[in-house]
Amino acid sequence: MTILNCVEVEPQVTATAAVIWLHGLGSNGHDFESILPELKLPQDAPVRFIFPHSPSIAVTINGGMVMPAWYDILEMGAGRKLNVQQLLDSANQVVELIERERARGIASDRIIIAGFSQGGAVAYQAALSYPDKLAGLLALSTYFPTSDSIEFSDANRELPIEVMHGSHDPVVLPSMGKEALAALNSANFNPNWRTYPMEHNVCLEQIQDIAAWFKRTLHLG
């Protein structure tokens, strides 16, 4: 399998942890790179940030237009239909990135998987089925379309999961985020749920909360 092209931001010290952060539909790996300065992590934080670029594919809901996407969406709405195989393929590509980080000397339990919107749906699948212990899962303005089919990994039953959503999100409805939360709770995970007065985006208060969560989860100074 070909490794995804990625934007990689190296720390000032030797990396001992990594965050693999997936963008949403129509965007690219530069999308969340720009918020790194806003996280205000310690200068000596040994964290490598990896922002993969999705492939470009035809997206049905956008008239078949070719654009960056982790999978095709066939219908919008709360019960949206999508190409599940493409989602699974994208999750497998994220697993390849995890394996590459491990080959570079990063322990799996020092790797966080994060994703926004479409990227979050892939992050759910990749992280919660990964066979070895990870550091955490950050799910932003997203949903969990494979919740009924995923084979959960026993190694990640106690995975720290942070779920964040805009209370006015018109793209991925808050109800979809809550359905993901309910699926996690039903599977005996212990996710943390936060909402923000925003639409389908991120806000400063949220970025500050993400930074605090990274610090706690990766035991940064």
- Residues that are catalytic: 117, 169, 200
Residue 34 tokens, joined: 């720009």
Burial track 32-56 (b if 16+ CB lie within 10 A, e otherwise)? bbeebeebebeeebbbbbbbbbbbe
Both structure tokens of 174: 């808050």
> Tokens at residue 146, please?
């494979």
CA distance 188 to 180: 13
- Burial class for 133, CB neighbours closer than 10 Å (0-12, 13-18, 19+): middle
